[in-house]
Structure 1
Amino acid sequence: MTQSQDLLQKLADIAADSPLAEARLTREAATTHTQGSYDVLFSGNDSGDFPLSLRLALAEQIARWHGEESLAVHYTGRITTAPAEDRLASALAHAELLTFKPASAEPSHLQALEQAGWSKEAIVTLSQLVAFVSFQSRLLRGYRLLNGENGSAAGSQPVTAAAWRTEPQTLSGKNAPPAFTREELGWEPWLAAKPLAEFNALEKATLAKFGHTDSDYFRLLARNLPLLEQRTLTDKGIFFTSGGLPRKERELAATVASKVNGCIFCASVHARKAAQLSKQPEDIQRLIDTAPGKPLAVDQSPRWLALIDFAASLSATPPTANVKQLATLREQGLSELELVDLIQSTAFFAWANRLMLTLGEPYTETV
């Protein structure tokens, strides 16, 4: 990929010979498929039920909500026609919910979109777009910090754990998990997953390649299969690569982001992985047990305190991660590549959490 094709390198003004550029090149798959996800979402024209002008207008607003002016200006500059006001209004209402309060989403929000004329495919793409720009904004924030921008070292209030819903049952009548846990949970969609029989042979092969065939969640996202493929490759490029930040700490970052966003399902998956890999289940359990409204970065080793504090701040909306936190991480010995891994692992769950929280809900087999 050349610099002209790498939007985030351009917006963060990353010099080609810098340590940050070298770290991103080391994580070439994540860099390439982050751009690939952008390309899928923001290519095409103004035909169809989710035209490009509407996608760009939404992305501009989401970037502004995250305080990323350069990203917002980029999207503004690509708009050539004004989107239809009625479509923009319904899309912005959904985007605002996903951006600021994803854990407050309910099935009625998707029903409202359908009543406003959105197809299932367009709803999935809309949700992906909001979640992707939330991810993209956090990457840009993190890269700018690493690149020496945002010179303020001022601290901010600690980011706290989110609350979880109190309904005892899911929409379909299954038992809803009452609290954050490391136990295994199920997940069911509010919007119908695409039946396997409706995929052609090539599409089925793509699903099978990534192990998505039997998953309602992934067959729902496969209503936009090209984007799902790029997203999956981005995920693999961030979490399944050698060197850099130990995998256990990438999973720790994913758990922190999930606690900030209130995603009980993602928190259970990645807390379980972090506990297994770190062999520190008690430390992970303390993090999982953090009560709503309480700071997450407490009662851990100095290294983990610094990791948790930064990941929580980057997960806030808008992000509050700052150069003082970055300096503390460097004092703990993190290299440039480890810092890039931390930023990318945290930011990816701005994407993942927003999909899990707003397209369906978790359930448990126990009360």
Structure 2
Amino acid sequence: MTQKTPATDLLDTLAEIAADSPLAAARNTRDAATEHTQGSYQALFAADGTASFPLAARLKIAQQIARWHGDTLLAEHYAAELASAGEKYAIADEKLQAAFSHAERLSFKPANATPEHLWALQASGWSTDAIVTLSQLIAFVSFQSRLVRGYRLISDKPVTDNGHTTAVAAVWRTDRKTQSGNHAPVAFTQDELNWEPWLPAKALAEFNASQQATLARFGHTDSDYFRLLARDLPVLEQRTLTDKGIFYTAGGLPRKERELAAAVASKVNGCIYCASVHARKAAQLSRQPEAVQRLLDVQPGGVLSVGQDARWQAEIDFSAALSATPPTANAADITRLRQAGLSDLELLDLVQATAFFAWANRLMLTLGEPFEK
């Protein structure tokens, strides 16, 4: 494995991770997640961006998202990058303001997104491809900010005090029909669901042979969701590798508890589809379907950890607090998790599994909706 250094890994720098620390060793163990989190950042903020979505605009939006998520260090990083980039290829104010409105909605209330919001972006000059990249950027910085906070907490570094209110289940969509007229789920469930996009997925024939091979390598060929995200294939590729590095690795936090963290984040963000996938996995792996269903049944405003055993209570409370906007997870949460027996590697896995669904939920909720099979 290649040891990451502050020179090559942004999160090492922002989280002040000492090279000889237990957290650095844990991140090195999770080298794929570490590498491709950085790769995702580079794919989104490389060079000058594109003519339709230039780097200066990306950095402006990222800076504001970091502020909304209560991450001063990350906001300062993007401010410095913006100062270096200048205003090259700046976009029209109307187009930029539409992007900020989209970013604010996804930061604070992603379950409120509707197809009409995407149409408004298009009306202000955003292409379908650029809307996908914009949504990826918003969701990625939401993920990135939670990693910074989580890593700093594990290393006993100070974080912004965003209050100590207990994070709770969010409101979710209860419309009985989707945009296309399919039956929509109105409650969280462990049942398998389908998902339909609000923007057209890119047809497989529109990808070249190399791009089709990339889709096939990850099993994305027949998925509307992934062929929609593949409108920005470099970002999708890095995101997929990050996902695999977080969830499909040996040792550390048991897989059932990583899946539990994903379900908790999905409850905080109001994402029925993601919760259905990961609650089902958590139930299967833990052989505790009733306990998982108890989590899913918590109503808006309810505390998610009620009725769970002590270890799950500690994990659920932490994941919920890290998923809130802005996050409220604090040093006391880490102390409680350590008292429950979690090692540094297990804490890293919990942070990364939770944070990843700040990314995944925001894509699922903004680009389409679930429907019942």
TM range (shorter): over 0.9
1:22 to 14, 18, 25: 25
What residue in structure 1 maps to residue 229 of structure 2?
A: 221
| In structure 1, distance between residues paired with 2:342 and 2:332 | 14
Contact 1:12/1:140 (<8 A) preserved: yes
> What do you get for the CA RMSD once the two structures are aligned?
1.3
What residue in structure 1 maps to residue 76 of structure 2?
A: 73
1:330 to 335, 338, 344: 338
Contact 1:155/1:324 (<8 A) preserved: no
What residue in structure 2 maps to residue 11 of structure 1?
A: 14
2:256 is the alignment partner of 1:248: yes
Alignment of 1:235-314 (within 5 A): 235-314=243-322
The runs of at least 4 consecutive aligned structure 1 residues that moved more than 6 Å come to 151-155
2:172 is the alignment partner of 1:164: yes
Amino acid at match of 1:137: S
Offset from partner CA, 1:80-110 (integer Å, 9 cap, x none): 3233322321110110011111000000000
When residues 169 and 38 of structure 1 are mapped into structure 2, their CA distance, relative to the original with a 3 A threshold, is same
Offset from partner CA, 1:172-205 (integer Å, 9 cap, x none): 0000101110001100000000000000000000
Offset from partner CA, 1:272-297 (integer Å, 9 cap, x none): 00000000111001001111110101
Offset from partner CA, 1:138-167 (integer Å, 9 cap, x none): 000001111112279997222111122221
Contact 2:152/2:159 (<8 A) preserved: no
When residues 363 and 152 of structure 1 are mapped into structure 2, their CA distance, relative to the original with a 3 A threshold, is closer
When residues 185 and 46 of structure 1 are mapped into structure 2, their CA distance, relative to the original with a 3 A threshold, is closer
SS at match of 1:321: coil
| In structure 1, distance between residues paired with 2:143 and 2:94 | 27
| In structure 2, distance between residues paired with 1:25 and 1:235 | 16
State the 1:47 CA deviation: 5.0
| In structure 1, distance between residues paired with 2:261 and 2:174 | 25
Identical positions, percent: 65
Contact 2:322/2:355 (<8 A) preserved: yes
2:123 is the alignment partner of 1:115: yes
When residues 119 and 248 of structure 1 are mapped into structure 2, their CA distance, relative to the original with a 3 A threshold, is same
Contact 1:60/1:75 (<8 A) preserved: yes
Contact 1:150/1:322 (<8 A) preserved: no
Contact 1:238/1:341 (<8 A) preserved: yes
| In structure 2, distance between residues paired with 1:159 and 1:150 | 20
2:364 is the alignment partner of 1:356: yes
When residues 165 and 15 of structure 1 are mapped into structure 2, their CA distance, relative to the original with a 3 A threshold, is same
Amino acid at match of 2:349: D
Alignment of 1:46-61 (within 5 A): 47-61=50-64
State the 1:345 CA deviation: 0.1
Amino acid at match of 2:279: A
Alignment of 1:122-271 (within 5 A): 122-150=130-158, 156-271=164-279
SS at match of 2:7: helix
Offset from partner CA, 1:68-87 (integer Å, 9 cap, x none): 11111111111132333223
| In structure 2, distance between residues paired with 1:107 and 1:158 | 31
When residues 142 and 190 of structure 1 are mapped into structure 2, their CA distance, relative to the original with a 3 A threshold, is same
| In structure 1, distance between residues paired with 2:143 and 2:162 | 24
State the 1:250 CA deviation: 0.1
| In structure 1, distance between residues paired with 2:227 and 2:287 | 33
SS at match of 1:141: helix
Amino acid at match of 2:78: Y
What residue in structure 1 maps to residue 35 of structure 2?
A: 32
SS at match of 2:195: strand
What residue in structure 1 maps to residue 45 of structure 2?
A: 42
| In structure 2, distance between residues paired with 1:151 and 1:54 | 27
Amino acid at match of 1:17: D
Equivalenced residue count is: 365
